[in-house]
């Protein structure tokens, strides 16, 4: 019998890589349900190829388009729409595996639903961990779920930690690698365009994470994610720029040994690791050819040109509510930049201004997380309007 997989955010970059790996293992996996927010045509294409039981479109205004598209194609897939349907898809009894690949805090509620339902949760949606790390790990424990990180750095750390018995005692520090993004060597960032920011040197990704990589906020979110997933303080999580993106991250143990995970930069590797775990399954990624690699180089991140990384460390040290504010402000600022309403260099300023304006207490529930997220989005929108392009 094959295992059912639900892909939340199936029309995105991680969704496409997941479908690619699943197609390589028809004896092992089938697609049970897929979701998107607005991409009806892409969702219909996926349904035609994978014939899932359920397709969900987040935007309720597109419910009819999805239903009629499925009917016109003669597909047996059931259609649903809206936020509740997204969360319901994450709990389908026919699917033991859920891939959380929605971008942004919008993925939080369905990701939590999958955790509570005891799924094998393949977690790409880093913003959900940044906003509600403790709630998510509690839900994983309460639901008996298995959380496997898909983010390549955290997936690497998961692999490097295999066999470590007591993390607190055995590990000195986690070392996250960062490519440095498209502007690693560019001194003047004042005229950066969305097209330039989205042209990542090593990875093909969605637009939001591409901009996050260009500002180094992606690494900042990952520092917070690593802290939540593996239980380390900010002081024990280091970032090193490694432009080749061959080492995906490292763990330094108490005896001085450093264990690294290497591979070609291809998200199908961590996805296949998490789908197959504890088995190793074929991912389709290319073999790492050491004879062609040349040098692997490393440098310290430049926190003056890329202040977002420092802001993320600051938020991690300030506490869980500050991390929600940081994430929300970043989502608003990146959207404004992509819509050409905010200069690239003002993204960090919007986040800093928003962090300075709000100091909420640590949230105790999802509703409190969402309330802080909403307040931060409103404050960030004001800051973006003030600092934006007129
Ligand atoms: N791409 C990578 O290589 C990579 C690596 C590591 C981690 N991640 C993380 O994985 C997540 C997905 O990244 P991505 O690059 O795959 O993003 P992406 O290409 O932009 O895809 C995002 C997916 O989420 C859906 N979506 C967008 N807004 C939504 C909303 N409000 N409610 C429900 N669904 C929504 C999109 O549907 P529509 O198509 O309808 O918009 C799409 O299916 C992010 O958290 C990212 O940080 C990505």
pLDDT of 218-238, one tens digit each? 999 999 999 999 999 999 999
Same structural domain for residues 206 and 164?
Answer: yes
The CB of 109 under 6 Å from ligand 1? The reply is no
Structure tokens at 336: 């404004």
Q: Please, which residues bridge with residue 193 across strands?
A: none
pLDDT at residue 204 in the model: 85
Q: How far is the CA of 15 from the centre of ligand 1 (A)?
A: 8
Centre of ligand 1 to C-alpha 123, Å, is 12
- Residue 177 Cβ < 6 Å to ligand 1: no
CA torsion sign for 95, 87, 108, 69 is positive
Which of 11, 12, 176, 200 has the most ligand 1 atoms within 8 A of CB, as the residue to mutate?
A: 12
Cα(173)–Cα(180) distance, rounded to whole angstroms? 21
How many angstroms is it from 312 CA to the middle of ligand 1?
21
Residue closest to 285 by CA, chosen among 299, 271, 304, 305:
271
**Shared domain check, 186 and 280:** yes
Q: Taking a C-beta distance cutoff of 8 angstroms, is the pair 163, 138 a contact?
A: no
Domain finish residue from 119, 149, 179: 149
Q: What is the mean pLDDT of residues 5-17?
A: 98
Tell me the CATH number at 100. Answer: 3.40.50.720
Tell me, yes or no, whether 306 lies in a domain.
no
Domain match, 199 and 227 both: yes
Torsions phi, psi of 230, nearest 5?
-110, -5
Residue 109 forms part of a structural domain: yes
CA of 102 to the centre of ligand 1 (A): 4
User: Does 248 lie in the same domain as 128?
Assistant: no
Structure pTM? Answer: 0.97
- Residue-wise pLDDT for 285-306, tens only, equals 999 999 998 899 999 999 999 9
Residue 311 lies in a domain: no
Whether 173 is in a domain gets the answer yes
In this structure, the answer to whether residues 8 and 83 fall within a common structural domain is yes
Say if residue 280 is in the same domain as residue 326. no
In a domain, 107, yes or no: yes
- In the chain, the percentage of residues whose pLDDT exceeds 90 is 95
Same-domain status, 117 and 193: no
Q: Which atom of ligand 1 is nearest to the CA of 126?
A: 45
pLDDT at 389: 78
Q: Is the pLDDT of residue 96 over 90?
A: yes
pLDDT at 184: 96
Strand pairing class (171-178; 247-253): antiparallel
- Report whether residue 127 contacts ligand 1, using a CB cutoff of 6 Å: yes
Q: Give distance in angstroms: CA of 321 to centre of ligand 1.
A: 23
Name the least confident of 129-143, 192-206, 245-259, 265-279.
192-206
- The reply to whether ligand 1 has any atom less than 6 angstroms from the CB of 40 is no
Q: Is the CB of 15 under 6 A from ligand 1?
A: yes
Mean predicted confidence (pLDDT) in 29-55: 98
Burial code (b: 16+ CB inside 10 Å, e: under 16) for 75-112 equals bebebbbeeebbbbbbbbeebbbbbbbbbbbbbbbbbb
Instruction: Give the model's pLDDT for residue 252.
Output: 98
Q: Is the CB of 13 under 6 A from ligand 1?
A: yes
Look at residue 232 and tell me if it is in a domain. yes
Q: Provide the pLDDT for residue 149.
A: 98
Last residue of a domain, one of 109, 127, 149: 149
Q: What is the pLDDT of residues 190-208, one digit of tens each?
A: 999 999 999 988 888 999 9
**SS3 letters across the chain:** CCEEEEEECCCCHHHHHHHHHHHCCCCCEEEEEEEECCCHHHHHHHHHHHCCCEEEECCHHHHHHHHHHHHHCCCCCEEEECHHHHHHHCCCCCCCEEEECCCCHHHHHHHHHHHHCCCEEEECCHHHHHHHHHHHHHHHHHHCCEEEECCHHHHHHHHHCCCCCCHHHHEEEEEEEECCCCCCCCCCCCCCCHHHHCCCCCCCCCHHHHHHHHHCHHHHHHHHHHHHHHCCCHHHEEEEECCCCCEEEEEEECCCCEEEEECCCCCHHHHHHHHHCCCCCCCCCCCCCHHHHCCCCCECCCCCCCHHHHHHHHHHHHCHHHHHHHHHHHHHHHHHHHCCCCCCCHHHHHHHHHHHHCCCCCCCCHHHHHHHHHHHHHHHHHHHHHHCCC
State in Å: Cα 66 to ligand 1 middle: 19
User: What average pLDDT does the chain have?
Assistant: 97
Same domain, 102 and 181: no
Same-domain status, 141 and 163: no
**Has residue 328 been placed in a domain?**
yes
Q: Is the same domain home to 283 and 369?
A: no
Closest residue by Cα to residue 86 from 55, 123, 116? 55
With CA atoms as reference, report the closest residue to 53 among 114, 95, 8.
Answer: 95
Are 41 and 121 in the same domain? yes
Residue 390 has pLDDT above 80, yes or no: no
Q: How far apart are CA 206 and CA 12, in angstroms?
A: 7
Say if 272 falls within a structural domain. yes
Q: Domains in the chain: how many in total?
A: 3
Does residue 101's CB lie within 6 angstroms of at least one atom of ligand 1? yes
Tokens representing 260 are 């690294």
User: Domain check: are 115 and 96 in the same one?
Assistant: yes
Give the end of a domain, one of 149, 170, 188: 149
Comparing C-alpha atoms, which of 216, 226, 215, 96 is closest to residue 152? 226
Q: Which domain holds residue 125?
A: 3-149
Identify the band that residue 165 occupies on the pLDDT scale cut at 50, 70 and 90. Answer: confident
């Amino acid at each position: 019998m094959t295992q059912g997989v639900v892909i939340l955010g199936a029309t995105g970059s991680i969704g496409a890589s997941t479908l690619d790996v699943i197609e390589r293992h028809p004896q092992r996996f089938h697609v049970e349900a897929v979701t998107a927010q607005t991409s009806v045509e892409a969702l219909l294409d996926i349904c035609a190829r994978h014939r899932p039981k359920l397709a969900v479109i987040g935007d309720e205004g597109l419910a009819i388009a999805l239903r009629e598209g499925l009917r016109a194609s003669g597909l047996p897939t059931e259609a649903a729409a809206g936020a509740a349907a997204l969360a319901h898809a994450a709990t389908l009894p026919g699917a033991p595996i859920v891939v959380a690949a929605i971008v942004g805090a919008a993925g939080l509620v369905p990701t939590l639903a999958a955790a509570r339902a005891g799924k094998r949760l393949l977690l790409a949606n880093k913003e959900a961990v940044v906003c509600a790390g403790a709630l998510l790990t509690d839900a994983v424990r309460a639901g008996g779920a298995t959380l496997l990180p898909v983010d390549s750095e955290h997936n690497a750390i998961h692999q490097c930690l295999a066999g470590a018995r007591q993390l607190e005692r055995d590990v000195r520090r986690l070392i996250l690698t960062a490519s440095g993004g498209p502007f690693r060597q560019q001194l003047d960032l004042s005229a950066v365009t969305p097209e330039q920011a989205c042209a990542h040197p090593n990875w093909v990704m969605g637009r939001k994470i591409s901009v996050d990589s260009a500002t180094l906020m992606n690494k900042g979110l990952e520092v917070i994610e690593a802290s939540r997933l593996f239980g380390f303080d900010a002081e024990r999580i280091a970032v090193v720029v490694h432009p080749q993106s061959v080492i995906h991250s490292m763990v330094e143990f108490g005896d001085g040994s450093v264990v690294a995970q290497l591979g070609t930069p291809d998200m199908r590797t961590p996805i296949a690791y998490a789908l197959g775990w504890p088995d190793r399954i074929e991912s389709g990624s290319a073999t790492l050819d050491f004879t062609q690699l040349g040098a692997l180089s490393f440098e310290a991140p430049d926190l003056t040109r890329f202040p977002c990384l420092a802001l993320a460390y600051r938020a991690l040290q300030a506490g869980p509510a500050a991390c929600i504010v940081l994430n929300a402000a970043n989502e608003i600022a990146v959207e404004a930049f992509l819509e050409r309403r905010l200069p690239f260099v003002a993204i960090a300023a919007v986040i800093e201004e928003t962090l300075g304006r709000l100091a909420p207490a640590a949230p105790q529930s999802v509703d409190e997380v969402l309330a802080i997220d909403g307040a931060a989005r409103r404050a960030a929108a004001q800051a973006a309007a003030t600092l934006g392009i007129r």
